[in-house]
Chains A and B, each alone.
Chain A
Amino acid sequence: MKLIIIFLNKIEYLDDLLSAFLEIGVPGATVLDSVGMGHIVSHDIPIFAGLRDFFAGSSPTNKTILMVTQKDMIPKIDEVLKDVTGYHQKKGVAKMISVPVDDLFGFEK
């Protein structure tokens, strides 16, 4: 099993993305409101305020999507993410990582 983490900076894609995940059989995911570090640093810590232009791509609101899935779903999820967001061609739209899951607790079998 794998934990997929998607950092979605362009949140306008969220609805379409979740719908597309349902289409390919993703049974569920957790969606968190999140903020890019660069945005926090440059807006909430005054000494870094001069770096706002440098961190301009750091989103004030983004979404972090977590889902536990079978390994063979990863290419499909990547494909959906590409189709919906075009993240493979555009910078700053989204990022995805997968990490191994050792044990599962509380999940339906």
Chain B
Amino acid sequence: MRISQYLDKDCIKIPLQKHKKYELIEELLALITHKYPEIDKEETIQNLIDREKIETTAIGHHVAIPHARMKNIQKVYFAFGITEKSVGFEALDEKPVNMVFLLLCPEKKVNTQISLLARLSRILHDKKLRKKLAKCKNSQDVINVFTEYENQHFS
């Protein structure tokens, strides 16, 4: 399972424009729903909010991975963005966030969701990877960074 295989050039935005947690999530979701209009925006945003209410999805080191399990989708959708300014995300380390991954998974593919969250949260603890991501200027840079990293670290 590779993060790079799920990244979609059209669902990556640098910089993100919004400066509030839920607006940022909506901005990322809009990347997905713009390309895949069949996804129910209202239902998805509610699921994402419900998930945030359980506990924050900010994993520390200025990174957040808001995510939701969806009944009516058949595949995984990913969006990624780097914010213009750091945004408060109620992270446990109290650091604001500037890199946000949005993940939507089909309800029946829980194992895929677990694997993706585990992989993402683990590799994003790598300071070198975060530094490289922070320098990305566009979608292709992000895809290249993940592809290169995963080629190096995973068979």
Contacts and interface: CB of A to CB of B under 8 A. Distances in A.
Interface stretch (A50-58, A71-79, A86-94): A50-58
Contact of A49 (B54, B113, B114, B121): B54
A38 to B, nearest CB: 10
A106 interface: no
A50 B59 contact: no
Interface residues of B, number: 18
Chain A interface secondary structure, helix, strand, loop or mixed?
A: helix
B67 interface: yes
Interface string A3-35: 000000000000000000000000000000000
A47 B114 contact: no
Interface string B116-132: 01100100000000000
Interface residues of A, number: 9
A15 B118 CA distance: 38
B121 A47 contact: yes
Contacts of A45: 121
Contacts of A46: 55-59, 92
A46 B55 CA distance: 6
Given A46-B55, A49-B54, A50-B51, 10 more contacts: A46-B58, A46-B92, A47-B65, A47-B121, A48-B117, A48-B118, A49-B55, A50-B54, A52-B54, A54-B114
Interface of A: 45-52, 54
Interface of B: 51, 54-59, 65, 67-69, 92, 110, 113-114, 117-118, 121
9 contacts: A46-B55, A46-B57, A46-B59, A47-B57, A48-B118, A49-B54, A49-B55, A50-B57, A50-B68
